[in-house]
Structure 1
């Protein structure tokens, strides 16, 4: 099982990346292979609706191929101004239903505020459904993320840590059930 994990943060000390990593490690513990996509390293250009997509740099073609080949996704975003990060939205603009259709997605959000990333998660849910993907019903959010993590990358809130780990396990279970059901 191939899962692509995308963190929508460009911050080198990203709490979103830490949250996505918790979900990814739990999925790996269940037997999945997880490709972590770092948008900082991928360095995608701004999506500009080119008629000739072959003129985009290799990073775009790699990203699209990874998304197409994936069986499922982990997508995380910080809440920026009540929505997803511009970097993540730009990356998602390069793909379509061809890459996501019928695939499960685990969504996670982080926020500097006390209310969490509810708007971001709702927006990601809409984007994924529009691209014909199946977002899992549990969408954990890490509020006040700047102070939520221990130095080892785990969450101080053990219940929230468990929710993120459970999300990774649920993603693997959903894919396995879907494969088993199609046999």
Structure 2
């Protein structure tokens, strides 16, 4: 069987984002897969732009990557008690593409945040925003990395054993769902 295709979306654009670290740590723990990080540097959704020039190429590329994926990881920071504008904008644009790129695709949502709750509100909002796309949203275990600036070693590896165990379990579940969907 060919390698699984795994797409990661990081709701923060910063290269040094701890959500990017979390996404990359999840990829390592997922196991062998062809990984692509989706580009969320998209123009702001604008219906006039869509009517004038159609779906931007970078949006269509992202939609196609999700459609081809066996599984998707969404790592989202919590900005003002919700998902980032970057992530919401990407979801809005993808909703305008043809087909149903998310349909039946296993999706794991996780978060890293400065607060002690680790982004619980952002995960709830992300799930609500993803639900209309009909993915297979994994419900747990929840990976909520609180006090995120203190949770990584110098190599960008997660050091908190409780979070690491939850991430391992979530990635094993995501892998099982991806393999099951592929063989269905």
Are positions 1:124 and 2:126 aligned together?
yes
1:8/1:34 CA distance change after superposition, 3 Å: same
Q: Provide the C-alpha distance between the structure 2 equivalents of 1:54 and 1:3, rounded to a whole number of angstroms.
A: 30
Q: SS of 1:137's equivalent?
A: coil
2:37 maps to 36
Q: Where in structure 1 are there 5+ consecutive unaligned residues?
A: none
Are positions 1:22 and 2:25 aligned together?
yes
| C-alpha contact 2:39 2:62 (8 A) present in aligned 1 | no
TM-score by length of 2: 0.87
Are positions 1:81 and 2:80 aligned together?
yes
Q: SS of 1:170's equivalent?
A: helix
Of the structure 1 ranges 85-94 and 166-175, higher mean CA displacement relative to structure 2 is found in: 166-175
Aligned residues: 176
1:145 maps to 148
Q: Provide the C-alpha distance between the structure 1 equivalents of 2:37 and 2:161, rounded to a whole number of angstroms.
A: 24
Q: Provide the C-alpha distance between the structure 1 equivalents of 2:181 and 2:52, rounded to a whole number of angstroms.
A: 32
Q: SS of 1:100's equivalent?
A: coil
Q: SS of 1:98's equivalent?
A: coil
Q: SS of 1:52's equivalent?
A: helix
Runs of 4 or more above 6 Å deviation: none
